[in-house]
Structure 1
């Protein structure tokens, strides 16, 4: 039986386990995929703790962790067109990505370019796609200044690169130990923590044109007054952003965006910055690394083919 890394109830790391499970069966519009790599994201541990995505239903336990995956099509469900057994794909699984096999709905699945590794493709459906949607929503003009909070994380690092590609100047907030990394992306680093608004003002004396927030909380409250609320979006503190007059990132969640970000990676516009990989047997350690909040770039679980 194929293995999967699951959580058996809502809670902390103690509810996680590597288990055997029945082979998933693809339904209408779904692909059975042999997973080669799965991205690790903060939303994974948030779901384990009990978060439910708006418009979604809580998964029955045991629930497989993981919101993005890349692999090889092993089977197709009824009504599927445009995909065949043997195709290399990446997308958002409906049955979790930390697994040897999962199901991908064709609506949020793209063909993996041959030039793109499974490891790199696995980090695009959540982090890069969120960054793509957010930067497109802001629409930074060439020469404008964008503030990205949490610029050292998976979404933040992609957002910096995409905004720079659009011609914007980017101020990126992150901890002091991520300064070199944030600057390597093309952003001006501003240290996070108390007094952040003053440091942002000093780094951008002519002002900030828009904010792409990936942190929420006190950081968002501190920097929000720097812009017109209509120019504030957040993926890290969505309810707070709305409370402050801004908006949540409007996610497209479709294959068109996945194809677009895959093309950007192939063209060298977007670097994935996978900084660590773990085998499926160590999925818990991979999730702990992300849950600590101190990672830079992306962490990936690699599944042997």
Structure 2
């Protein structure tokens, strides 16, 4: 039977397990994908604790799959699916599956994997890179403006810094002192996180892309004259709205996936996968992100 890494109830790492599951069957408008790689994101362990994205409702069924972005090869297509066939290399957001050998994907949240894009890199795009792209587009800062990215050393942060630089923005990246060289390697100005960090930001800031939340978000807001240029993917809507900003408006579509892949193929975005783990070590991959010290992206690779 196929294997999947799941959580059996809400809680901590003790709820996680690698189990045998039934092979999913694609419904109308869905494709079954043999997973080759799955990206690991903070939202994965947050969902294990009961977190719901804004707008999500309903009770989760257990055991629940980990994972929100995958790449792989189409095995089977459901009724009404056009444009995709068995053998196609694709990537996208799973409906069922994630850290698993098989996943179901909806055709409106899937894209073909370009030949110049590896399965491993493709698995980093549906959440991290697209979230970064959505935020940069939402801010709409002109070339030459200064963008502050908090949490600049993580998966979304690394993508946001690179996409912003490709659009001609000056970027200041807030990250731990140990990530100084890492952040600077993407042609950003590094500011070490910690008490008094706002006083170390050089010059003025025209926009803030927050990926941390909490006090960091509040402190970052104080640097802006125009709070409409404050966005966050690290805090709830009500928190950032009190500060005059907004959540990143996610555009979940195949077109956005294609746009993110094009950036990688053109050399404007390096997903910067720093560690990979096999499926049987998915728990270690999740801990690498959950401890908050990961650089770039962590990916689970599934043996073909």
After TM superposition, the score normalised by the length of structure 1 is 0.97
Shift of 1:186: 1.0
The equivalent of 2:15 in structure 1 is: 15
Q: Show structure 2 runs of 5+ residues with no match.
A: none
Aligned residues of 1:38 and 1:302 also touching (Cα < 8 A)? yes
Question: Contact 1:7/1:16 (CA < 8 Å) preserved in 2?
Answer: yes
3-state SS in 1 of match to 2:94: coil
Distance 2:59 2:93 in 1: 16
Give the distance between the partners of 2:297 and 2:60, measured in 1 at CA: 25
Paired residues for 1:168-247 under 5 Å = 168-200=169-201, 203-204=202-203, 207-227=204-224, 228-239=226-237, 240-247=239-246
Map of 2:70 onto structure 1: 69
Structure 1 unmatched runs, 5+: none
Q: Tell me how far apart the structure 2 counterparts of residues 223 and 48 of structure 1 sit (CA, whole Å).
A: 29
- 1:150-169 CA distances to partner (integer Å, 9 max, x unpaired)? 00000001000011111010
| 1:46-57 correspondence to structure 2 within 5 Å | 46-56=46-56, 57=58
Q: Which moved more, 1:84-93 or 1:191-200?
A: 191-200
Tell me the alpha carbon deviations over residues 111-135 of structure 1, each in whole angstroms, 9 at most, x when there is no partner.
0001110000000000000000000
Question: What is the CA distance between 1:59 and its match in structure 2?
Answer: 2.5
Provide the rounded CA distance (Å) in 1 between the counterparts of 2:194 and 2:59: 34
Could you tell me whether the CA contact under 8 Å between 1:193 and 1:219 is conserved in 2? no
Asked if the contact 1:39/1:122 (under 8 Å) is kept, the reply is: yes
In 1, the alpha carbon distance for the partners of 2:221 and 2:300 equals 35
**1:32-83 CA-partner distances (Å, limit 9, x unpaired):** 0000000000000000000112333332000010000000000001111111
- Report the counterpart of residue 119 of structure 2 in structure 1: 118
2:261 equivalent to 1:262: yes
Corresponding position of 2:100: 99
- Partner residue in 2 for 1:130: 131
**Aligned partners of 1:55, 1:238: CA distance in 2, in Å?**
11
Deviations 1:7-49 (A, max 9, x none): 0000000000000000001111111000000000000000000
- Structure 2 distance, partners of 1:5, 1:265, is 28
* Alignment correspondent of 1:44: 44
> What is the CA–CA distance in structure 2 between the aligned matches of 1:84 and 1:104, rounded to whole Å?
13
Paired position in structure 2 for 1:59: 60
Query: In the aligned structure 2, how far is the partner of 1:134 from the partner of 1:40?
Result: 20
Instruction: State how far apart, in whole Å, the 1-side matches of 2:236 and 2:146 are.
Output: 22
Distance 2:99 2:242 in 1: 35
Q: Does 1:159 align with 2:138?
A: no
Alpha-carbon distance between aligned partners in 2 of 1:117 and 1:22, rounded to the nearest angstrom: 28
TM-score norm. by structure 2 comes to 0.98
